Chains A and B, each alone.
Chain A
Amino acid sequence: MPELDKIIHAPARLKIMSALMAVDADTQLDFATLGEMLGLTDGNLGAHLQTLEEAGYVKIEKVFVARKPRTYIRATARGRARFEEHVEALRNICDI
C-alpha cells in the first residue's frame, strides 16, 4: 500500500519534486530557473531544497559555468521513488 511522504507533502516541496520529475533522471535543473518557474524566492527554495537533500531526495551540485557559479539540482532515485509513491497515495485518497 503506497504511503504519503511528509517531507514531499509540503506544497512547496511537492512543486519542487514535480518539476524535477518532469525531466530525465540524469538531467539537472538550474537553481535560478527552478525558483523562477515555481515562483519561489531564493531563500524559500534554498530552505526546502536543504530539507529534501537531507532526506536524500535531491542531489545539489555547485559548478562554474562560464566562470560564474551555478547550482544544479536533480532528483535522486530514492526521491523519484518516494515521489511516485506519494502521488499514488494521493490517488488512493481521491478514490476513497
Chain B
Amino acid sequence: MNQETFKQPTPDEARAALAEVDNVLAQTRLSIARGPAAPILILWGVIWLIADITTQFHAQSMQWMWSVLDGAGLLMTAWFVARDKVKVRAPGGRKIGMFWGALFAYGMLWMVILQPINFPDSAQGWQNFEPVYSRLTTYWHTLCMFGYVVMGLWISRFLLGLGLIVTALILAGYYGNIPYYYAWLGVAGGGSLIIAGVFIRQFWK
C-alpha cells in the first residue's frame, strides 16, 4: 500500500466504489457541458425559427434580418459563456470559441470570395434569386450543424447526434423539394435545437 495498512475492500465494495467513480465522472461532464449548452441551443433555435419562417413569407428581409439576429445571437452566446465561466477555468475552452470563429470565417470565404453572392435589389429579382437563396440557406444551416457534429466529438455524443439528425432533416427538406422549405428549416431545424436545449436543461443534472 502507499500509506499505512487499511482494510482491503471486498469485491462488492470495490464494485460499488467503481460504480461511484463512473457516476461522478459522467455527472461532472454533463454538469459542466450543461451550463452554457442549454440556453445557447434554445437561443439559436429561436433565431432559426424566427428568421426562417419570416424569410418564407418575406425573402427580401433575409439579408438584414440574419445580420441583426446573428449579431444579437453572438453577443448573447458570449454572455452565456462568460456567465458560466466562473464554474470552470479551462484553457481549452478558448479553443471552442476559436473553432466557431474559424468555421464562420470559412463560411464567409466561400460566400464572399470563392463563390460571391450578389443579392438582388428588386422584388422580381428576389423571385429569380430563389434557387440561389435556397442553396445559400441550406449551406449555412448545414455548416452550423457541422459545427455541432465537431463539438459532439469533443464534448458529448448528444450534440453529435443532434448535428447529424438536424442535417438529415435539412437535406430531406432540400432534396425532397417540400413546399414551404424555409418554414421547414425553422420548425425542423430551429425546433430541434429548442427541444435539445430543453432536454439538456431537464435531464443533464
A residues apposed to B, CB below 8 Å: 3-7, 9, 11, 14-15, 18-19, 21-24, 26-30, 33, 37-38, 65-66, 70, 72, 82, 87, 90-91, 93-94, 96
Contact = CB atoms under 8 A, between A and B. Distances in A.
18 contacts: A4-B6, A4-B9, A5-B1, A6-B6, A7-B3, A15-B20, A18-B28, A22-B28, A23-B29, A24-B92, A27-B92, A30-B89, A33-B31, A37-B31, A70-B86, A91-B14, A94-B15, A94-B18
Given A18-B21, A27-B89, A65-B86, A6 B8 contact: no
Nearest 10 A/B pairs, CB to CB: A22-B28, A18-B24, A93-B14, A6-B3, A27-B90, A33-B87, A28-B89, A90-B14, A19-B28, A18-B21
B61 interface: no
A6 B9 CA distance: 11
B116 to A, nearest CB: 41
B127 interface: no
Interface string B2-15: 11101011110011
B28 to A, nearest CB: 4
A28 B70 CA distance: 31
Using C-beta atoms within 8 Å of the partner chain, give the interface range for chain B.
20 to 34
Nearest to B18: A90
Given A6-B6, A18-B28, A23 B88 contact: yes
Contact of B88 (A6, A11, A33): A33
A14 B17 CA distance: 8
Interface in B134-171: none
B11 A29 contact: no
B91 interface: yes
A41 to B, nearest CB: 17
A5 B86 contact: no
B62 interface: no
B95 to A, nearest CB: 11
A23 B90 contact: yes
B24 A9 contact: no
A3 B2 contact: yes
